[in-house]
Amino acid sequence: MNKTTLHHVTAALGLALLACACWVMAGALSDRMVQQEMTATVRAERQMAASIVDNMAQIIASDLAMSRAIPATLAQMDLMQHALLASRHYASKAPTSETERRNEWMSRPELVKVNSFLHDAQGFSGLDSVWLVNDQGLCVASSNANDETSFIGFDMSGRGYVARALLGGFIEMYGVGRLSGEPGIFIAAPVYDDDGFLVGAVIAKVSIDRLRHWVSRAGTFVTDENGVVVMAHDGRLEYEAMPNAPVTKMTVQERVDHYRREAFPDLRVARIGEQIRATEKWLPTAVADTFYAANGSATPALYDERTGLNSGLSAHIVHPLTSWPDLTRNHSRDRILVFLTMLGIVALATVIATSYSRERRLHRATRDLAEQLQAANTLLSAEARHDALTGALSRRYFLDTLRHEVELARAAGTPLSVAIADLDHFKQINDRFGHASGDRALEHFVEVCRAQLRPSDAIGRLGGEEFGLLLPQTALADAQAVLERLRKRFHHEHCAHLPEDAVLSVSIGITELAEGDATEWILSRADLALYEAKSRGRDRSEVRPADSMPSARRAENSLTGM
């Protein structure tokens, strides 16, 4: 093997090792990138899921509190207590047939009055039904007494919520109506007489259809005390049971009595973090432990619940990570991109290192040229901001400064005065003493302005012998006093660069910012004031109050001619 071949083989091996190292490092970097993105995504989604389920639990608790207030209030009323006490005298001798009991109790005046009252209370409260049950579990009055589905005369003691209420408990329980077949929340409040003896119970029902807003968000569902899904955003989940739910320990008859059905498929909500980490090694263990799947879904989800809502109900959410497919796809793509980027960086570094010594002189020359260009740009920028002759602000920069000061004055609620100054008979100075003398006169005016005005005030050359003066935080009267002193000083202070017989004077128009002023209106009013000063003999200052609106012609002239 000759030296050339050996050199080529060594170079090829070096490139291969370099590519392998880049691939390994690209894998580590892409893992880190996707871990950070996944952690941030899961944190945000977990907060969202927690917020949804918290809000859901608050709504459930609030709605049930409003619903339970009705039967609780009815249970304290003398009308209910007296009706139940009176029912003891005839309930013990009541007919055995439900129909016979119904017909007899429907004809009793005291119960007719109770039926009417319960009907009104049910309509006012938004409940679906309200019943009055005596201490034997017999329904003696109902809000729907005249309907065929009325329970008057029925023995309701077999209902779980009735049985618990007749033992003295305040009950809220999910159930399915035996006659209507409609699910709802049953609320039972025990009724005591004045001596503290239990005489019956007030039962109310709220239909599930009235409470569907509980599960308005995707992935939410509600379970009852037996672990049965009684309401879900996805209706297919309803009547499925949570893992190891108490409903699995109930007898078939108990299930039928309570839910009007026998079977309850399992709702499979299980952790899947370990299974995902088997294929996605980059996934942090702490993040993977929060991953769940519902009913075998391939997309990981976050699960959260709120129990103990004082009703046997629990709020749940299975919140899918919809960004999961994109994150996994991006991980593979990012590894390739990082690998190619690293190879490019290495190749670029090699080229730079190889060419550095040869290109050093060119680099130094380029750097010097860049510094010259930067200096030239700085000079051009300064010239763009300031008038080359007088050093005052350029017209464009003065107008930008004016707009900025207008915004500040409006925000802070402070006054702002603006003036336009024009040197009198400037053409005669140029014609008589030469343009060089005219330039000295312009310079002298700017020097007087700087000596007379504050550092925060602005002076701009608007064109020729015309200048703009900007006085922030200065009212119109104060501005006139300041600019009148400036005018007198300019007139009486001789410019050393002009002949002795050269007399200078200036006319000044002054205005102030008004509510809703546009920039051109301010300048137009100042221009009108300057026009008045010129018309009245020059070498004077005139003010234009803020309430003097400029004409359209003058506004146009101020924008185009100044």
When pLDDT is cut at 50, 70 and 90, the band that residue 94 belongs to is low
Classified as helix, coil or strand, 377 is helix
What is the band of 554 on the pLDDT scale with cuts at 50, 70, 90?
A: very low
Encode pLDDT of 220-239 as tens digits. 999 988 889 988 988 888 88
Residue 258's SS3 state is: helix
Do 345 and 245 contact (CB within 8 A), yes or no? Answer: no
Domains belonging to the chain, first-starting first, are 76-216 (3.30.450.20), 395-560 (3.30.70.270)
Euclidean distance between CA atoms 397 and 380, whole angstroms:
14
| Cα 475–Cα 477–Cα 481 angle in degrees, nearest 5 | 115
Q: What is the pLDDT of residues 361-377, one digit of tens each?
A: 777 767 777 777 776 56
Own/partner long-range contacts of 52-57 (Cβ < 8 Å, ≥24 apart) = 52/217, 52/220, 52/317, 52/319, 53/220, 53/304, 53/305, 53/306, 53/315, 53/316, 53/317, 54/306, 56/214, 56/215, 56/217, 56/220, 56/306, 56/315, 56/317, 57/306, 57/309, 57/315
At 421, the pLDDT band (50, 70, 90 cuts) reads very high
pLDDT digits (tens, 9 = 90+) for 305-364: 888 666 788 899 988 887 877 877 777 777 788 778 877 787 787 778 777 777 777 777
Question: Mind listing the pLDDT tens digit for each residue in 462-475?
Answer: 988 999 999 999 99
- Residue 169 has a pLDDT of 84
pLDDT at 379: 59
